[in-house]
Amino acid sequence: MTDDDPFETVAEAKRSLSDDARERAIAYQHDLDKLSARERIDYLLDDGTFEEIGRLASPMPTTPETTDWEREDAPADGVVTGFGTIDGRNVAVFATDFTVKGGSIGHAGGRKMKRVSERALDRGLPLIMLHDGGGHRIQEGLDGAPFARGDNGFSSLQTALSGWVPVVSAMMGPAFAAPTNFAALSDFVSIVEGTGTMGVAGPSLVKSALGVDGSKNELGSARFQTTETGMADLACEDDEACLDAIRTFLSYLPRNARREPPTADPKPPTDEAVERLRDIIPASARKGYDIYAIIDGIVDRESTFELKPTYARNIVTTFARLDGNSIGVIANNPRFKAGTIDTAASEKASHFASLCDAYGLPIVTLTDVPGILPGPDSEQEGIARHSAKLPFELARATVPIANVVLRRGYGFGYVAMGGGRSLDSELTVLWPTAELAAMGIEGAVDIAYRQEIEAADDPESRRQELIERFEARTDAVRAASRVGIDGVVQPEQTRDRIRRAFERATEPRDAEWPPKKHPINPI
């Protein structure tokens, strides 16, 4: 075999790009407690299924001068792209490589990303993006000729992918700028604690543009982006946990919107979990309780996967399974802000409802809500507009919806959670502990009967008398008397009632009337 053997030339070119041939760079990545781009893909995908494209790509410099960086070795132009399977189902994937020019995205790498994304669009494949780098490569962006193309159509590609196939972004290193833009249009965003960051701009650009100092953690740490902003859905302790979360997320969803969600073996909740349902809700409406225990008593055993668990904790959004089938659960959490719906809760729940509807997951809403959060701060955040988002998404949904009122169903909060005939739901029922009214009784009495109370010989006694009179008119039996709901069920009957309602809802709805392109989201 000669040195100019074309077969060996190609084989050697590919070998030179492997992790084994780049020991120093890979060791540096490991010292940062991070897997390499190729290790991440190998861990994520089923063994031996990765098929790479664009492995021999190299940089496409556009700056006028010749510099050392143009001649540097840049394996695969810093982006590993291709296809493989997860749990036997095909996916498209790309991972930016922090060991190559800091994981920046050059023109060649961008073309590779676009190629796999277009295949994902055309063939209905989930798209997974593993981010570890600083966005677009600055050296290749300081030229109007290539930049005039904008992002080369990637935003429109992601928009086309949205609701067609699951789109995932994992923030596994510095991921300011472009990776954050990609994440904003993704269905699921996971971030690695300690190494992952995200935001529209990193510290250097913020300092240059605004003169403001800020560390990576202050601008975009995992805690900040999961708990404060809700940009990321889940913080993970390391790379492996982050990749495991992606596999779990995808296990609830179909390959694309034309397919059925995957199923699992039914695992009914334990007898103990079901029996507990009667005892969870306290007698006093002022006390909180464990909403997760109620969810566990209804859905399949150990089947939940919660999104945004540390953001807007007054509402819970979680995937689960019911008799082996994927569903979404939206539940008020009385232990935080008494389960009141504020701006953050509305945005979190409405996005989750839209996600479930897009991929065919029936929705269960568990209601215990005192209303929409009032007050000057809430009004300044635009609560009047934001509070319409959840009922908007539930009303436009085509999947079956079941609403269960556990305790309080007050005011527009009751409507927002899909209570009664607010929606054309498959099922809307009350627990015996339910209380329904246009607003909290004590507040309503104080407003509507203020003059009568003040004029009474014993104002406090008269006030309490009025409160008790109207509280007697809010119970579950009276609420069911005019067929505003489908009935009152015992807690232990809830799972079967929901399951049977969803089993009946197999025929697709005709959504062609009235004739229009789409309703307009109250953004």
pLDDT reported for residue 265: 96
Task: Render pLDDT for 67-94 as a digit per residue (tens, 0 to 9).
Answer: 544 445 788 888 999 999 999 999 999 9
Percent of the chain with pLDDT over 70: 89
- When divided into structural domains, the chain yields a total of 3
Place of tokens 């779990």: 248
Return the pLDDT at 34.
96
How far apart, in whole angstroms, are the C-alpha atoms of residue 73 and residue 57?
11
| Co-location of 469 and 480 in the same domain | no
Same domain, 246 and 290: no
- For the stretch 483-495, pLDDT in tens is 999 999 999 999 9
The answer to whether residue 517 is domain-embedded is no
Instruction: Indicate left, alpha or beta for 250 from its phi (over 0: left) and psi (-120 to 50: alpha).
Output: alpha
| 39 CB-side CA count, 13 A | 16
**Domain end (from 251, 283, 311):** 251
pLDDT at 61: 66
284 and 187 inside one domain: no
The answer to whether position 304 is within a domain reads yes
> Does 45 fall in a domain?
yes
**List of residues 6+ apart from 94 with CB closer than 8 A:** 79, 80, 81, 82, 112, 113, 116, 128, 129, 130
- What sign for the dihedral angle of Cα 119, 82, 226, 404? positive
* DSSP track, 194-207: TT-EEESS-HHHHH
Mean pLDDT of the chain, nearest integer: 89
Q: Tokens standing for 429?
A: 């029922």
- Give me the mean pLDDT over the 297-321 stretch: 98
Name the amino acid, one letter, at 122. Answer: D
- Clarify whether residues 447 and 364 are in a common domain: no
Same domain, 398 and 421: yes
Examine residue 516 and state whether it is found in any structural domain, yes or no: no
Question: H-helix or E-strand containing 53?
Answer: strand 51-53
* Whether pLDDT at 65 is above 50: no
Quick one: which H or E segment has residue 109? helix 107-123
Residues 93 and 163 in one domain: yes
Q: Contact, 456 vs 449, CB < 8 A? A: no
In a domain, 260, yes or no: no
Same domain, yes or no: 416 and 489? yes
Q: How does pLDDT run across 131-153, given as a tens digit for each residue?
A: 998 777 766 666 666 666 656 66
Residue 246 sits in the same domain as residue 357: no
CA distance 167 to 246: 10
The string over 457-472, giving b where at least 16 C-beta atoms fall within 10 Å of a residue's C-beta and e elsewhere, is eeeeebbeebbeeeee
Please give the pLDDT value at position 69.
46
For residue 335, being part of any structural domain is answered with yes
Question: Is 162 inside a domain boundary?
Answer: yes
**pLDDT per residue as tens digits for the range 96-131:** 999 888 777 888 888 999 999 999 999 999 999 999
Looking at 251, 286, 320, the residue that finishes a domain is 251
What pLDDT is attached to residue 1?
45
Residue 517 has pLDDT above 80, yes or no: no
Residue where one domain finishes, among candidates 204, 219, 251? 251
User: pLDDT at position 211, please?
Assistant: 58
The reply to whether 222 and 278 lie within a common domain is no
Range of the domain at 167: 6-251
Q: Where are the beta strands (DSSP E) in 384-465?
A: 401-410, 427-430, 435-437
Among 31-35, 310-314, 368-372, 462-466, where is mean pLDDT lowest? 462-466
Say if CB 161 and CB 122 are below 8 A apart. no
Same domain, 352 and 488: yes
Same domain, 372 and 406: yes
Which whole number is the average pLDDT over 203-231?
72
In a domain, 403, yes or no: yes
**Rounded Cα gap, residues 247 and 89, in angstroms:** 11
The CATH number of the domain holding residue 298 is: 3.90.226.10
pLDDT of 461: 86
Q: What is the pLDDT of residue 66?
A: 46
Mean pLDDT of 36-65: 86
Tens-place pLDDT, residues 429-484 = 999 999 999 888 888 888 888 888 888 888 888 888 888 888 788 889 998 999 99
- Statement to judge: residues 71 and 174 lie in one domain: yes
